[in-house]
Every structure is written in C-alpha cells, then in structure tokens.
Amino acid sequence: MLIKLDHNFHEHLTETEKKVINFINMNVEKIASMSISDVADATFSSPATVSRTIKKCGISGFAELRYLLAQQQETRTDDTDVNEIFNKSLLEVSNTIDHLSIEDILSVVKELRSASRIYLLSRGLSEHVAQELALKLQILGYNVFENSDPSIMREVTSHVKRNELVIIFSLSGETPELLRAAENAASLGARIVCITCGAPTVPLARIAQLTIYGYKHQHVSIKSVDATSRLPLYVISRILVDYLTMQKNQEAEKKRQKDEAYRKQHYFQV
C-alpha cells in the first residue's frame, strides 16, 4: 500500500476519489508504467479527478506518484529509470516556476513593451530558445533582431540606443562572447535583461538591470559537450510570450468594445 488514509480523511473523500486511491493501492506495481489517463480509464473517472485525488493525499502530482512507486521497487527496472528521467524534467519546470518572481516577469514585460527595438543574443543550444522567442515576438508585432554570431553581436551592441532592449539567454551566465556584448550595450546605456540558470553572482547578472533565473538540474546526461537541457529557459520564454499575448488580446477586446459603443452612439445620434 502506498497511500495510507486515516478514518477522518477517508470520510472527506468522494466515492470516485476513494475508488482512485483503492486502485492505486491495489496496483502499485502497475502504476509506475501507467499514464494518468490509464488510471482515469480504469477507475471510470477523469485525469483531473485522478490529479486532484493524488494532491489531496499530499503528493504533488502523478509524476511524483510514479517516481515514488519506482523508488520503492527493490530492483531497478526500465520503469524506474524512465520515471527518474520524468522526475528530472518535473523538477526543472516546477522549481523554475516556484522561484520566479511575478514582479520580475512584469518588469521584463514592461521593458519589452516600451523598447523601440529588441536584441536577442545567445550562444550554443540557447540559440534555439532565442530564435523561438524572436519569431513569436515578431508575430506579436515587435521589432526584433536575433543573433548568435560573436562578431555580429559585438558589432550591433557597439551602437545600441538607450531606448532599445538587449535580452541575453545564457544557461551559465558566464559565456565570454555574451559578456562582451552585455558590456558594450551597458556602456551605451541600453537596457539589459539576462535569462539564465546561473547563480546571482554570475558576471552577466551583475551587468543586467533585470535577471530572470531558471532552475537547472544537477544531473547532466551528456557531459562531453555542452548539451544541457534548456527547458528552464524555454519555460521563462513561454511565460513572457503568453503574458504579452494575453495583454494584446485584452487590449484588442477593449478597443472592440469601445468601437462598438461609438458606433451605437453614432447610430442613435443619426
């Protein structure tokens, strides 16, 4: 049995929630290889119900449940290994979100909205994060320049303007080429945002006016080259884009309502 319930707690569960817990406790060996949808189907419930029930039992979610079950097994299996990998991604995402400051996110959004031009600079695998963000910002109508070439970055940051914004993606916060670009931009008074998984003491964080920190798991799969996951950087990038999109949609709706009110007023006046 994985989930132990006292009488008082059991009385506050719905019949469906009791059925979910009973199924989990009776199928401990199977759960580690099942999906949340599999459990929902087996208990004639829904994934949302399964998730809610698990959280009521003090477990953060289905991924943690599978991880705990895999850890209880006496011998390592493929399920154990895969669940440990699942848990690694879960920790990176959840810890990144837990440590994000809403004030910092709103501050970066304000910088994005007020900048006459946005420069996105990166190196290595972080280039893919910057490229995706650049594309989405362009779709939203922003003036964006994205680059990862050291000589070009050095050139463009040697003549940035004070009303322009430089966003630097750097997993470590110590990449020399990015550091030189940040120093160039800072010397000209440009605003600088650093998005990193490094410590607050990394060089780029000391130069930037705003720094957003992600969480990087200590276990790295590929160690021969820098192929560390950029998942935390993607999470931060997505949050920024989603908030900008929400603001744009809200503003469009307000404009639509204002235009509609004007048309009605004008119609009745005529």
pLDDT-derived band at 80 (thresholds 50, 70, 90) equals low
pLDDT-derived band at 207 (thresholds 50, 70, 90) equals very high
Residue 222 has pLDDT above 60, yes or no: no
Q: Which CATH class is domain 99-253?
A: alpha beta
Within 8 A by CB and 6+ apart from 114, the residues are: 163
Render pLDDT for 161-190 as a digit per residue (tens, 0 to 9): 999 999 999 999 999 999 999 999 999 999
pTM of structure: 0.73
Within 8 A by CB and 6+ apart from 69, the residues are: 2, 28, 31, 32, 83
Per the model's pLDDT, the better-predicted residue between 246 and 94 turns out to be 246
> In the CATH scheme, what is the code of domain 1-73?
1.10.10.10
* In the chain, where the domains are located: 1-73, 99-253
pLDDT at 151: 96
Phi first, then psi, for residue 198 (nearest 5°) are: -80, 175
Residue 24 has pLDDT above 60, yes or no: yes
Q: For residues 97 and 213, is the Cβ–Cβ distance under 8 A?
A: no
pLDDT-derived band at 266 (thresholds 50, 70, 90) equals confident
pLDDT at 1: 47
Strands 191-196 and 165-170: parallel
Residue 70 has pLDDT above 60, yes or no: yes
pLDDT-derived band at 61 (thresholds 50, 70, 90) equals confident
Q: For residues 62 and 72, is the Cβ–Cβ distance under 8 A?
A: no
